[in-house]
């Protein structure tokens, strides 16, 4: 009996999401046990508690992953008939399989060499001896990956848009050309696109590209984290990731995994231009706030040690970078969202800003859309 390729693809996708969610749940349970034991034996000490990320990040990741799995099942469809519409489903199944085989092959190679897993590398920040200058360098390197992700995604979208319109012959102002542009970028002019998030085959090509790239990023980063946290599985990028970890991230999923999972959910809801605008918060506003706050911050908040100067600098960066993509109204509101999140994370709200930013900006942009408040961008879509 021939195996239905659609069912096989669904099986691979559900399996990999299941493994990831179970791994997150394992870290959550382990963290809870460690926290309880430490609190019982050291009632007046909080040192160990700071090495365990607050559980809300792990719970938030699990909820978003379940949401993403549901949207994939609804939107992609797995009734294969040999058309180009089958490609997204095939890629969604093949990507984790390839990544899994690569990591399995790497582990076979490492064990064949007799290499044992080294879970720690004696980091300076693991012993709380890291200097302010070194911490600033590590923070710059961490934030730079957000900017790299923005450039990567923008490049993919730009190349895709050029390829979509390269064979068009006619006026750039014609209705036909606008239809072609909208087929790629979608239309964010006050449409209630939350509705189409759960309708099969309704998203523009540009959004499909975003989802695929972010999906691949999620798969790679979460597999890296699962192997890094394992006591026996080798991680391909173990040394590099350990060098950039904060002390509180050593025993849990690092913030870059929050970023990937959060913005994958955003890509599934927002059309490309609004998604890129939301990504500006992580790619430009967050690094600007961090750099300005570390170097010039004087007026610091007592609850999370961030600075007023950093918040203002990050908000300004958010407004300026978002303006060309979504216009002044969305940019002002987006900058306000960033300022509020900078004030309340990671305290008093104990959630990573890398997880909250994509969730909040997606929700806000969706509400603006449902209220028929139009955005303005260079493509007019």
Give residue 45's pLDDT.
46
Domain annotation covers residue 104: yes
Q: Same structural domain for residues 105 and 229?
A: yes
22: CB partners within 8 A, 6+ apart: none
Domain annotation covers residue 193: no
Domain boundary among 242, 269, 296: 269
Domain annotation covers residue 118: no
Residue 48 CA to residue 51 CA, distance in Å, equals 5
Q: Same structural domain for residues 338 and 290?
A: yes
pTM of the model: 0.90
Domain annotation covers residue 116: no
Domain annotation covers residue 188: no
Domain boundary among 219, 253, 269: 269
Give residue 9's pLDDT.
85
Q: Same structural domain for residues 281 and 153?
A: yes
Read off the tokens for 348. Answer: 């008093």
Q: Same structural domain for residues 17 and 90?
A: yes
Domain boundary among 238, 269, 300: 269
Give residue 191's pLDDT.
55
Q: Same structural domain for residues 1 and 41?
A: yes
pLDDT tens by residue, 7-57: 888 888 999 999 999 999 988 887 765 555 555 555 544 444 454 556 889
Q: Same structural domain for residues 225 and 319?
A: no
Domain annotation covers residue 185: no
Low-confidence ranges of the chain (pLDDT < 70): 1-3, 32-54, 77, 81-85, 119-132, 188-202, 378-381
Q: Same structural domain for residues 256 and 148?
A: no
Residue 199 CA to residue 193 CA, distance in Å, equals 10
Domain annotation covers residue 145: yes
What φ, ψ does residue 211 adopt, rounded to 5°? -60, -40
Give residue 46's pLDDT.
47
Residue 313 CA to residue 289 CA, distance in Å, equals 5
Q: Same structural domain for residues 212 and 87?
A: yes
Residue 214 CA to residue 263 CA, distance in Å, equals 7
Q: Same structural domain for residues 280 and 260?
A: no
Q: Which domain holds residue 345?
A: 132-175+271-381
């Amino acid at each position: 009996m021939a195996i239905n390729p659609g069912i096989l693809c669904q099986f691979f996708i559900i399996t990999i999401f299941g493994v990831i969610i179970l791994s997150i749940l394992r870290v959550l349970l382990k963290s809870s046990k460690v926290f309880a034991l430490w609190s019982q034996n050291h009632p007046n000490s909080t040192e160990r508690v700071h090495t365990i990320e607050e559980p809300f990040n792990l719970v938030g990741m699990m909820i978003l992953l379940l949401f993403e799995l549901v949207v994939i099942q609804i939107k992609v469809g797995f009734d294969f008939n040999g058309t180009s519409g089958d490609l997204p489903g095939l890629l969604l199944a093949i990507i984790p399989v390839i990544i899994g085989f690569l990591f399995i092959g790497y582990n076979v190679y490492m064990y064949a060499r007799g290499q044992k897993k080294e879970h720690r590398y004696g980091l300076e920040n693991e012993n709380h001896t890291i200097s302010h200058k070194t911490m600033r360098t590590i923070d710059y390197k961490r934030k730079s990956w957000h900017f790299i992700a923005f450039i990567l995604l923008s490049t993919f979208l730009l190349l895709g848009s050029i390829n979509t319109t390269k064979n068009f012959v006619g006026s750039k102002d014609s209705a036909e050309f606008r239809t072609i542009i909208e087929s790629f970028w979608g239309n964010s002019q006050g449409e209630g696109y939350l509705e189409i998030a759960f309708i099969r085959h309704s998203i523009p090509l540009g959004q499909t590209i975003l989802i695929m790239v972010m999906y691949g990023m999620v798969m790679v980063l979460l597999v890296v984290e699962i192997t890094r946290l394992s006591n026996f599985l080798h991680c391909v990028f173990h040394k590099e990731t350990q060098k950039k970890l904060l002390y509180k991230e050593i025993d849990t999923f690092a913030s870059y995994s929050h970023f990937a999972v959060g913005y994958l959910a955003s890509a599934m809801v927002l059309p490309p231009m609004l998604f890129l605008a939301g990504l500006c918060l992580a790619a430009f506003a967050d690094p600007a706030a961090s750099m300005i706050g570390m170097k010039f911050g004087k007026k610091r908040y007592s609850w999370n040690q961030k600075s007023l100067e950093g918040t203002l600098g990050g908000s300004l960066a958010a407004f300026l970078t978002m303006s060309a993509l979504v216009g002044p109204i969305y940019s002002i509101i987006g900058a306000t969202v960033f300022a509020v999140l900078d004030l309340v994370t990671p305290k008093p709200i104990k959630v990573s800003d890398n997880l909250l930013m994509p969730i909040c900006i997606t929700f806000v942009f969706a509400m603006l859309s449902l209220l028929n408040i139009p955005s303005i961008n260079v493509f007019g879509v």
